């Protein structure tokens, strides 16, 4: 009987933890989005203050942000130094595709990411700045909806995890 109780407690706790881990996906997505917003702001400030080479801007951004977004800019900086690609957009797209499995972004955020890449090929710095501010406003809108979704998901998955654990115990015992 004691072993049954310990087993039941283990099942319930492990399914609760599994539920919480599912809900963390939204939290990681929010974090990545925040880092990308920071990266776009740093890019916008860098091009308004001076006109350094794109590889230096990417490397600077990769040092100042965290997570998969930093890895994207680090790879983009290395590719830009190598000068093997015809355009900055292609460099950025390749860097994103290389790190896509580390990102928690969905379709909307991936569109923002690729449109930032297209922004890099614009001729004038004021056009690039305008593009960057449009991307930042899109991100702000997405973030607001995501925060509410993350709160709901956290409550849903943790309670669903506990209920599924209890259901499994009832079925098995």
Partner 1 sequence: MDINIVFQIAAVGILVAVLNQVLMRAGREEQAMLTTLAGLVVVLFWVIQYIDRLFTTVQTLFRL
The tokens describing 19, both together, are 């539920």
Is residue 171 within the footprint of partner 1 (CB under 8 A)? Answer: yes
Closest CA to 79 of 70, 66, 88: 88
Alpha-helical runs (H) found in the chain: 2-49, 54-64, 67-82, 88-98, 107-119, 125-172
Stretch that binds partner 1, among 52-60, 101-109, 135-143, 156-164 (CB under 8 A): 156-164
DSSP 87: -
Considering the complex, state which of residue 13 and residue 100 has its C-beta at the smaller distance from partner 1.
Answer: 13
Tell me the per-residue interface mask from 101 to 140 with partner 1, x by CB under 8 A, - otherwise. ----------------------------------------
**Contact in structure between 24 and 153 (CB atoms under 8 Å):** no
Cβ 33 to partner 1 shortest distance, Å: 22
Is residue 167 within the footprint of partner 1 (CB under 8 A)? Answer: yes
Stretch that binds partner 1, among 6-14, 31-39, 77-85, 153-161 (CB under 8 A): 153-161
**Contact in structure between 43 and 61 (CB atoms under 8 Å):** yes
Alpha-helical runs (H) found in 99-124: 107-119
CB atoms within 10 A of CB 40: 25
Of positions 6, 13, 21, 156, contacts partner 1 by CB under 8 A: 156
Is residue 27 within the footprint of partner 1 (CB under 8 A)? Answer: no
Is residue 166 within the footprint of partner 1 (CB under 8 A)? Answer: yes
């Amino acid at each position: 009987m004691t072993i049954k109780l310990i087993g039941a407690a283990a099942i319930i706790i492990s399914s609760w933890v599994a539920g919480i881990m599912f809900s963390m996906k939204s939290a990681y997505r929010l974090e990545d989005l925040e880092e990308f917003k920071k990266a776009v702001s740093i890019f916008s400030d860098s091009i308004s203050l001076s006109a350094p080479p794109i590889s230096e801007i990417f490397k600077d951004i990769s040092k100042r942000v965290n997570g998969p977004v930093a890895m994207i800019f680090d790879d983009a900086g290395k590719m830009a130094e190598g000068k093997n690609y015809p355009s900055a957009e292609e460099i950025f797209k390749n860097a994103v595709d290389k790190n896509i499995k580390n990102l928690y972004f969905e379709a909307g955020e991936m569109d923002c990411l690729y449109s930032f890449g297209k922004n890099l090929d614009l001729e004038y710095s004021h056009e690039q700045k305008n593009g960057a501010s449009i991307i930042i406003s899109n991100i702000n809108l997405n973030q607001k909806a995501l925060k509410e979704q993350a709160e709901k998901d956290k409550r849903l998955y943790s309670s669903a995890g506990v209920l599924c654990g209890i259901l499994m115990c009832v079925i098995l015992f």
